[in-house]
Amino acid sequence: MINMTSHISTDITQGVMQISINRPEKKNALSQQMYRGLTLALQQAQQDDKVRVVLLIGTDSCFSAGNDLQDFLGAGELNAQHPTVQFLYELAQFTKPLVAAVAGLAIGIGTTALLHCDLVYAADNARFQLPFTQLGLCPEAASSVLLPNVAGYQRAAQYLLLGEAFDAAAALSMGMVNQVVSPAELMALAQQKAQQLAALPADAVQCSKALLKRSQLAHTKETIAAELVQFQRLLHSSESQARIAAFFQR
């Protein structure tokens, strides 16, 4: 077990790097330090030939409640040096298989990150939400193109414009997750699928992933960049600042 930060750790077993998000006191909200840890973990997995698959997990009761807003607001402009931005691009261009196991809350980046994963398994207690407009903001992580690709325009608009929460059954029906099981079964299933991938010829698996993503990778990166421009603009708007201030007063 290697601690990338105090809340991000990795462990490699039989070709699978498990990246764990563990900040339960903040519902696994991601700080800039945690984004750095996640980016570093993905970079190490990319460079290590012994790593064939990455499995991303949270805790038993929470995948991630999204950005640690207070920390995020103090991190400066959304430029190439910003830890959140670096993580988004690392995630989008990662060439090895990415598997996610999701239990409990998956809010904001906790949901949009899943759109970059190749296989997603959810516990039946998983709850997803993309509350960007509720904070006076816009989608991020290329979710404005990836979610319509998965769910179709109308359902993507429902979740990205209204910011309505949805459960694991809805995520399954729209194709955002591969399978839903009980919380007690989740880790065993995700680990089994990750090991199944790791046992296959790595070159063939990575080549197949590259072909699957070939038509969308450039568009994904362009969309991340376009979203960041608008996200930065909206973040400084009076409406967004009022909404965020109200969030902190809850």
DSSP character string of 140-199? -TTHHHHHHHHH-HHHHHHHHHS---EEHHHHHHTTS-SEEE-HHHHHHHHHHHHHHHHT
Q: Which residues contact residue 178 at a Cβ distance below 8 angstroms, ignoring those fewer than 6 apart?
A: 119, 120, 121, 172
Kindly state the percentage of the chain with pLDDT values over 90: 91
pLDDT at position 121: 98
The tens digit of pLDDT for each residue in 208-250 reads 999 999 999 999 999 999 999 999 999 999 999 999 998 888 7
Kindly state the percentage of the chain with pLDDT values over 70: 99
Domains of the chain: which residue ranges?
2-184
What class, spelled out in words, does domain 2-184 have in CATH? alpha beta
Please report, for residues 17, 82, 91, 100, 161, the alpha-carbon distance to residue 176 in angstroms, rounded to integers and kept in the order given.
22, 28, 17, 11, 18
Helices H / strands E in the chain, number of each? 11, 11
Mean predicted confidence (pLDDT) in 38-60: 97
pLDDT at position 138: 98
Residue 1: is its pLDDT beyond 80?
A: no
pTM of the full structure? 0.96
246 vs 228: CA distance, rounded Å: 23
* Secondary structure element (H or E) that encloses residue 65, with its range: none
Strand partners, 106: 64, 128
Q: Which residues contact residue 159 at a Cβ distance below 8 angstroms, ignoring those fewer than 6 apart?
A: 128, 129, 130, 147, 151, 166
